[in-house]
């Protein structure tokens, strides 16, 4: 789920940026939808990965912490982008924000691929 989500997030943001550069409302909408699906899948993957690690009595606190981090991860960059629009303009802010999201999501994707490859190697060695 996380691999699909992260890949969709990178592709969706790329399509959104292309749409913004070409003034294509269709590409902006499609890219935003794909990125949203990717974010949702990535968030679900995070929950599915983290929650089984917690004891029953720790799950409410863990889930609350995950939600707080997720809301901060969404709101703080949006507030910063709103500030930057007034300083550098909408187009440059969009480019920078989109590029940053793509770099971070690509780094997460690489990390997921490396760790999943290690898991496959560990299973192969143990068999």
Write out the DSSP string of 30-60.
Answer: HHHHHHHHHHHHHHHHHHHHHGGGS-GGGHH
CA dist., res. 91 & res. 97, Å (int): 10
Q: What is the DSSP letter of 116?
A: H
* Number of folded domains that form the chain: 1
What is the pLDDT of the chain when averaged over all its residues?
89
Q: What is the pLDDT of residues 17-46, one digit of tens each?
A: 999 999 999 999 999 999 999 999 989 988
Given the structure tokens 């990125």, which residue do they identify?
Answer: 35
Question: Distances from the Cα of 91 to the Cαs of 21, 43, 81, 102, in angstroms?
Answer: 8, 28, 11, 16
Q: What is the pLDDT of residues 40-69, one digit of tens each?
A: 998 998 899 899 999 999 999 999 999 999
Q: What is the pLDDT of residue 123?
A: 52
Domain ranges, residue 95: 2-126
- pLDDT band at residue 92, thresholds of 50, 70 and 90? very high
């Amino acid at each position: 789920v996380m691999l699909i989500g992260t890949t969709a997030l990178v592709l969706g943001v790329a399509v959104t940026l292309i749409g913004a550069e070409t003034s294509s409302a269709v590409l902006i909408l499609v890219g935003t939808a794909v990125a949203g699906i990717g974010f949702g899948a990535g968030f679900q993957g995070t929950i599915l990965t983290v929650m089984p690690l917690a004891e029953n009595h720790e799950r409410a606190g863990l889930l609350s912490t995950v939600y707080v981090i997720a809301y901060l991860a969404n709101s703080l960059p949006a507030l910063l982008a709103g500030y930057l629009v007034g300083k550098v303009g909408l187009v440059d802010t969009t480019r920078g924000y989109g590029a940053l999201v793509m770099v971070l999501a690509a780094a997460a994707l690489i990390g997921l691929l490396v760790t999943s490859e290690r898991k496959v190697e560990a299973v192969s060695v143990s068999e």
